[in-house]
Amino acid sequence: MRLHSDGYEEIDEGGNKRKSLLVTLTKVGVLLVLLIWGTVIVLKTVNGIVHQPLNRPKNRGNSRTTKDGHLKVSFANVRNNTFTPKIQPLQWISGPNSTTDDNGLFVTHINDSYVVKSVFDPHYSKTLFKGHSFLYGQQNLTVDTMIASPDLQKVIIRTNTTKNWRHSTFGSYFVFSTEKSEYQMIGENISVVEWSPNSIDIAYVLDNDLYLYSVEKQKTTKRITDDGSAQVFNGKPDWVYEEEVLEGDSAMWWSPEGDYLSFFKTNETEVYEFPIPYFVQHSDDVYPEVRMIKYPKSGSPNPVVHLNIYDLEKERTMNVNIDDDSVLITDVLWVGAERLLARVTDRTSDILSMVLVDAKKDAFYEVPRVEFSDDGWWEITHDTLYVPKDKSRDRHDDGYLDVVPINGYNHLVYFSSCDLSNPVILTDGDWEVVDGPAAFDYESNDVYFLATKKSSMERHLYSVNIHKPLVIKEITDTSKDGYFDVTFSSGSRFTLLTYRGPDVPFQKIIDLRSSKTDETIHGNVVGKTLYYLETNEELKGHLESYAIPRITYQELNLGTDEKGNQILVNSYEILPNDFNPRLEKHYPVFFFGYGGPGSQQVAKTFSVGFNQVVASQLNAIVVVVDGRGTGFKGREFRSLVRDNLGDYEAQDQISAAALYAKKSFVDEEKISLFGWSYGGYLTLKTLEKDAGKHFKYGMSVAPVTDWRLYDSVYTERYMHTPQQNPEGYASAKVHNATALGEAKRFLLVHGTGDDNVHFQNSLKFLDMLDIEGIENYDVHVFPDSDHSIRYHNANTIVFDKLLNWAKQAFEGHFISDMY
């Protein structure tokens, strides 16, 4: 995981991910606990009143309504999804010849059935599976997930799912034939399955070995590997590759015709183990359960990963013999029936190599492209897109699309042959292409992509033709603010356009090849809208009853840097209800920070969550600042933090706090900073650097406190190794306890079961405070919770505690406790 907290993303304010809101409290369970113990009185309401500490000053701004009678935002209506926009799932799928004959096939759920539909042909319908469960033998099994075969005749069903790490699971897998209405069991306790393009073979991983299952023969036909163990993984990633490299549970890739299967063989024998104790898994446990995890901390041995290719016809495995065992293989892409590209970097992401492998020639490889990061780094991406040869469309060789820095900004390039080292530059300018090419139209040669061309806080859809470089065509309406997501049908004729803000989100299906356009422009300016998938009319109705605190996007000038250049950063502020700028020294300021390299929090997306609760319930100004080191403002802006994490990021938060402290309506004694994960680290580094001058309070959740303790793949990309950069690691560590002691007070929160940012970080930090005699802090520990802090109702409690703690700070409750 890239140091993003799932716990905060639940009600995140313009962050990088969006997930469902916090789950509703199980009131019946709470009442049972009360009846059993009979000693605790818990006050809960359904109207947004959060837990109140005893013996505290009168509440500030805690009225449930504004002056004009509108309801204020509270946890109650955030948690019951009052403000959650509906985003309809639509899974595009590929049918036979779908790249040239694109009927816009997708899977949806209708009347308790999984059905294949077509956006092009409203009469087309094919039922894959009916119901949510099925009977196998004497067992009634629940369908947890389903994967359609490429020919749409069969589906793989997973049931009895057990969660492993962030992306990985174990489960029982079955094949269901839609024509024969029969089930085949592949096996139990399987971790990964992948359909072959031929719709006959299925590759799967059991006990870290790789197998082939044949649907035709209804049995496992081949055991590809036999060395799988607790130390060796075949076809699936280990912990660090799952979290930081592949960001998924699979490490295998079928060739386009299904003749070859490439896969990773990962050996983590030399990786050190880290123990994680679990204390409350079972009520009758008196000794904690200790789970060992292979976790490479910065500077320690990484897993050794080899790329292998299995030839199905010859039934043999070939090793791509890359000499250096210390490299990171970050992506694999088949570029034709027999060749693949492997994206390879050195351990510290300074050098990128594109390795071209020929499976037909015993995995012989060459390296047509090597690029250096200069003063930056190569971020791990999975955005390279294969462009097949088609002489009728002036594509004379197999090529690919990629994103590389052009004049300091990330832009699209086209390698017309995989053997080439110099590409055609498709886009250029002081803006960036985001997440690589979104789609390639095999008929028109158009490349679709999302970019920050209008504003780094927005995402609009554009296109460029590979034979007409630098001629950019707008697809979405850039005359209006907009942040769009897109997914495309298999042939890129149709797109699901999802508008995510700043206004209420909507979704629509567009035919990009239609000669007609919309009569009324709404979202897109190219293509014909076939229909709206979602308009969120119910949400619009809800919003009429509430006073949503006003949000303003801005670019802050934080002064000049060492070179005399102005420091311009993206920011937004949320003003509380009934805001009155004529009040003197009245409003507290609640900064929310993340600040990780290449990240972004200030984005024009619709969200009503924790930040709005703070503004409404605490009568506070909420401020979010994307300082130097964050993404989408060019390479120089983000790469400044290389080898020196925590310095510039903290400086920029302090500079922003200084600006707000000068505002007449701000109470400069009540400025706080909150962050989770990297944001928790940023909070502590900012308090350390500021030494109580501007930030009086801080709330740090699940922070890294010493980069020697975090995983190697993430840390070394930005810091190199501790052996190479000892001074940088010493400086980046949260280490000045005396300076932290100058703040009025801060809060530290962590889960003991955090497999990502280990609880060790907070324990070592607390030990430092003890040694230095620093006592101006509070601590809350969540037993067995991981990085998202949600075990045993923890996610509700942690946000209640954050809000209440900030409230006490702003009301001066901690001042009387000073000693």
Among candidate residues 255, 441, 787, 788, the one labeled active-site is: 787
| Catalytic site includes residue 167 | no
Tell how strand 154-163 and strand 385-387 pair up: unpaired
Full DSSP string of 230-275: SSEEESS--HHIIIIIS-SS--EEE-TTSSEEEEEEEE-TTSPEEE
Among candidate residues 463, 677, 712, 785, the one labeled active-site is: 677
- E strand spans, 49-181: 91-92, 105-110, 113-118, 125-130, 133-136, 139-142, 145-148, 154-163, 169-177
Residue 229 CB coordination number (10 Å): 12
For tokens 């080292």, what's the residue?
421
| Catalytic site includes residue 677 | yes
CB of 105 closer than 8 Å to CB of 116: yes
What stretches of 65-218 show up as alpha helix (H) in DSSP?
75-79
Q: Give the span between the Cα atoms of 298 and 276, in whole angstroms.
A: 18
Name the residue among 587, 703, 715 with its Cα closest to residue 650.
703
| Tokens matching residue 316 | 């043999």
CB of 232 closer than 8 Å to CB of 265: yes
For tokens 């027999």, what's the residue?
338
Q: Is 146 exposed, middle or buried (0-12, 13-18, 19+ CB in 10 A)?
A: middle
Q: Give the span between the Cα atoms of 272 and 682, in whole angstroms.
A: 28
Q: How many residues make up the chain in this entry?
A: 819
Among candidate residues 643, 652, 754, 784, the one labeled active-site is: 754
Tell how strand 304-311 and strand 289-294 pair up: unpaired
Q: Give the span between the Cα atoms of 622 and 672, in whole angstroms.
A: 10
| Catalytic site includes residue 787 | yes
Number of Cα atoms under 13 Å in the Cβ half of residue 222: 17
Q: Give the span between the Cα atoms of 369 and 366, in whole angstroms.
A: 9
Q: Which residues are catalytic?
A: 677, 754, 787
